[in-house]
Amino acid sequence: MPSWNLLDFTGLHAPAGARAPWDQVSVIRSRRPAVCAVQEVLGPPATAADRLAELADACGMRCELDPHRRGNPASGHPVGMAGPVALGVADTLCNTGLMWDPEQIEFQEGTFDSIGRARGGFWHALAMAEFLTTTGMRLRVGSWLANPCLPHSVGTVEEALAPRG
């Protein structure tokens, strides 16, 4: 499973002089990972949700928590044009997210969780969810960026990703 630090990602159509992510999109598309963790999707929740959905679509992946609930904010998760998405919301506007290939792995509804900086001691946020592989294996996957000033944040992630009863 690749992890991709987008480094200040503001969308696929970057302004003049900004770094465009098309090379990275090409790599993700050619490798076809089952799940890809991303960090540094910039913006307030709705903007970042749209950016994550745009990126997932460009990579041939999904990030929608429930494609039948497009535009329904009742889920409590960030809602962009694509509906609720797998976005770890950070109070720094520097968010994390998960994208997946539904042909290889199945997102398990109701398992997504977002733990922010204040609650988890992360540099940005933690986005995590459970998936079922085509062989029936259940995986718990997270996307996060550790706080370089707080080495104990690694233990927090290990606790958050621990199997649940």
28: which residues sit within 8 A by CB, 6+ positions away? 2, 4, 36, 59, 61
Calpha distance 44→93 (Å, rounded): 5
Question: How many C-beta neighbours within 10 Å does residue 53 have?
Answer: 22
Domains of the chain: 3-161 (3.60.10.10)
Share of the chain above pLDDT 90, in %: 32
Q: 94 with 63: CB under 8 angstroms?
A: no
Q: Find the mean pLDDT for residues 78-86.
A: 69
Residue 117 has pLDDT above 80, yes or no: no
**C-beta separation of 94 from 102 below 8 A:** no
Residue-wise pLDDT tens digits, 13-36: 666 665 556 677 888 889 999 999
Question: Residues of the chain with pLDDT > 70: what percent?
Answer: 66
Of 85, 95, 93, 131, the closest CA to residue 111 belongs to: 131
What are the tens digits of pLDDT across the range 52-79? 998 999 999 999 987 555 444 444 556 5
- H-helix or E-strand spanning residue 107: strand 105-107
Mean pLDDT of 35-41: 93
| Inter-residue contact 141 to 128 (CB < 8 Å) | yes
Confidence of residue 90 (pLDDT cuts 50, 70, 90): confident
Give the confidence band of 38 by pLDDT, cuts at 50, 70, 90.
Answer: very high
Tell which residue, 124, 52, 115, 50, has the closest CA to residue 91.
124
Rounded Cα distance between 136 and 138, Å, is 6
Q: Do the bridges between strand 3-9 and strand 35-42 make them parallel or antiparallel, or are there none, so unpaired?
A: parallel
pLDDT band at 125 (very low <50, low <70, confident <90, very high): confident
- Per-residue pLDDT at 65: 87
- Report the sign of the C-alpha dihedral through residues 62, 130, 124, 37, in that order: negative
The whole-chain average pLDDT of the chain stands at: 79
